[in-house]
Structure formats: structure tokens, C-alpha cells
Amino acid sequence: MAFYYSEASHTFSEYLLVPGYSDANCIPANVSLKTPLVKYRRGEEPSLSMTIPLVSAIMQAVSDDRMAIALAREGGVSFIYGSQSIEDEAEMVRRVKNYKAGFVYSDSNIRPDQTLADVIELKERLGHSTIAVTHDGTPTGKLLGIVTSRDYRISRMSMDEKVETFMTPFEKLITAPEGTSLKEANNSIWDHKLNSLPIIDEKGHLVSFVFRKDYDQHKENPLELLDSQKRYVVGAGINTRDYAERVPALVEAGVDVLCIDSSEGFSEWQSRTIAFIREKYGDSVKVGAGNVVDREGFRFLAEAGADFIKVGIGGGSICITRETKGIGRGQATAVIEVAKARDEYFEETGVYIPICSDGGIVHDYHITLALAMGADFCMLGRYFSRFDESPTNKVMIKGNYMKEYWGEGSARARNWQRYDMGGAAKLSFVEGVDCYVPYAGSLHDNLATTLAKIRSTMCNCGALTISELQQKAKLTLVSAVSIVEGGAHDVLVKEQTQ
């Protein structure tokens, strides 16, 4: 006879935190969000920690090298998507590790024979006002000029006008040679009152940009996550099919941590993948595994040697696994049970294995709930997909800017490896959707608000660290009526004016 759980599984929206005593020292400025990323032994420090408890999802629509740089700058880690060729994923990792803070790889480029219409489309899609004009329209082509919003007026020009007729040509640009230090570049920007300074090699090819605005941003990011060589920390997704070829390529590229990207982690395929990594690299290569939703799944991956374990099946906003297959579990219940299993394992073995809550985050406060329930950090997809730094297009839908967002199990991504159960090398049916999410602007500005909410709520609970929150938190289930009571009700809310 099948096993039946005695209680229903619950989502984050069915819980609230009950405030605890806060002393005078308990203010948001004193809150530390530092959290372990990989396992460690009692009395030791983890070899990898984060300064904020957030990582970006292993998805085509979320995590590329640009997102990885932006999130590491804030103290988190991106796991670059693995549903691409081994060479392309390794190159993304390499770009993150080779990135010099302040030197920006150009992702807005155009050819001189293109038109104003192309400039407008590029600006609306990527949101950048500085566009490099290169001979072939690539980020490393020969620099011929620059187009900024000061170079054209839509009301007075034809959309067919060629870029070469209104761009600021190379001979009027102030540039700097490859090898220029960031200090020298910033001095040049201030001396010449520039907004940007192109860095070029000896053949005149574009290498990168240094922007005036980044000088201030760098000062605003004391939490940035760097390795021992002062390079940004970056993760990457792998699968259980081509790991023997993919893992060595990613390690050679300099990846800091790997994660097996799978919809369901309680399988022999994951233990085989971890065993390969341990046999070839020992404990020097860190690898997370998952996803699981119960104690048995956690124990299996812990004993297999996972460095962290992801929790959650079917809770993502673009995931329809529960609809199509009828498997999964409410995210809050899954996190609570797996956190208990993690603590049991720690007591038994002295090894602490961090758990990552993956999916089910709708509101910012859900992150704090997940942490209070025992998660060490959260993996977010929809949240990060809304920002400028995600790799998708910004489009206008019914008068509003949106960003494209699709699941790895959708027909668009066709990431069959993520759903591989040892059968044919194909996606037999979809487990994700293709959709839009409201465009939200820059990662930095939005993340600052989210983290402020988390720190404030932790103070309400009398906690200054995540571990203290987990010890002190008091959680209560809420009724459907009290959920309604929690929002604005029985009033006519004024419309927001822009």
C-alpha cells in the first residue's frame, strides 16, 4: 500500500513570522547575511561562503556571464546555464574569471552600415545608451566610433539614416590602450569629462569600456564576492550525461563551484556524476546536487558526497512538473523537512551540508521565511530574469516593458538533460512554459530593496545572523482569511501615478 503523509504540504504564502524581542543593537546595519555555500566540518570554516544568501538559477533566461558578474558584485553567485555547448559554457566562465572590475565587456555593438532604427531597437532591447560601432558589429571588432543618445534626435532624423553618418567617429574619441590600469582610466574619464572610455588593443580593436558610473558603483559594493586572486566567484550547471567532458572544461576555465541541474535528484545518475568528480578531483572541485523534497532524498545525496543540496520540485513560476506528472511538494514543507534532515546529519557526522531552497519564491518575504525554515540560501529564477543583466530581450507588451522568461523544460529551451531518466536523448513532453515577466530595471537597485526587507525582518525576530534567525524564528500557519487580511483591504487604493 502507498505511503500517505498525514499532513498537507504547504507553501511559503501559508506562513508568517511572529516577531521576537529586539534589543537596541538589533538594527539592519548590524545584520550579516553571510552564509556557507559548500559543506564543512564542525569547527572549521567553509571553503566557499557568500555575503548574501542568493544565487541565480541555472537557466538560459537567467544566468550568463553578465548576470554572474553583476551578482558576484553584490555578494551572491550565478550558476551559468548548462544547456549549451561545453565550449560556450566554459567561455562564459572564462569571461567572468578574466573580468577586471571596472572594465566592461561591450554587449551593445553595431556596424556602421546599419541604421538609426537598428540603434533604437538595440537600445530598447538591452537598455544601454552607449553603443560601440565596430567594423563587424562584434564586441572585439575594430572600433570605428561610438553612438550615444547625444548623437541623434529621433524627431529630426530618418530611421533609415546610416550609423556612419551620425556616430562620433574614432578620430574624435578619447581612448586608452590595452593594459591601462583602472586608476589611470578613471583619471582620464575625470580629466576629459567623459561618460565612457574605450580600451583598445594595438590594432585598434575594442577590448572593453570603463564607465564613469561604475566608479561610484564599485564604492557601493563592499560585499562583492572574490576568490583568492581577486576574481569574481562564478558557478556553472552540469548534467548527468556529458559530465566526463563538461566538468574538466569548466574546471580548466576556472569555475569555483558546480551544480548538477536536474528536476529530480534522488537518482543513481546523480551519485554517478558526483563519484566521477570525487575520483578525478577529490574534494578540490565543489559540486551541489538535487533537487529533493524529503529526508530520504537529502540523505542519499549527502552520502553520495554533495557539497550542497537543492530543495524543491515543481514550485518554480515557469515549472509545470506538478501539472504534467503529479509529483512535487509544497516548498515550505519540503524545506522544513530537509532542514531537519540536514541538522540530524550534522549531529551524526559533524559535517554541515548547506541546503538551497529552489523555487516557490513569489514575494521578497518568502526568502526570509525560507531562511528561517532552515535554508542556507535561495536559488531564484523569475526574480533575476526581470533585470537588465539577464540575457533575454526586453520587449513592449500592451504598453508595458517586459522581459522574456522560459523554463528549461519548455519547448523553447528543450533542456532534455535536466529531465533525463536514462531514456532517449530527447524531451518527450514539456515541463515548463515560455512567458513574460515585468521588466524591473537594474539588479543593483532592486536587490538593495530586497536585502533591506530581509535585514529588517530579521531584526523584527531579534536576529543579526541567518543562523540566529533559524534558532529564534517563530512561524505560524495562516488561514485563507488571514492571508486576505494581510494585504490592503476594505479601502479604495489610489492609482499610482508615474
Catalytic annotation, residues? 319, 418
Q: How many alpha carbons fall within 13 Å on the CB side of residue 218?
A: 14
* Cell digits of residue 194: 567623459
Helix orientation angle between 364-372 and 331-349, rounded to the nearest 10 degrees: 30
How far out from the chain centre does Cα 455 lie?
20
Exposure of 181 by Cβ count < 10 A (0-12 exposed, 13-18 middle, 19+ buried)? Answer: exposed
Q: How far apart are CA 455 and CA 20, in angstroms?
A: 14
Q: Distances from the Cα of 307 to the Cαs of 291, 300, 377, 455, in angstroms?
A: 13, 13, 13, 27
| Contacting residues for 52 by C-beta, under 8 A, at least 6 apart | 33, 35, 74, 75, 76, 223, 447, 451
Q: Distances from the Cα of 264 to the Cαs of 81, 293, 310, 331, in angstroms?
A: 17, 9, 10, 14
Q: Among candidates 267, 279, 275, 277, which has minimal Cα distance to 245?
A: 277
Q: How far apart are CA 194 and CA 69, in angstroms?
A: 24
**Phi, psi at 345, each rounded to 5°:** -65, -40
Please give the torsion angle defined by the CA atoms of residues 168, 153, 445 and 357, in that order, rounded to the nearest 10 degrees. Answer: -90
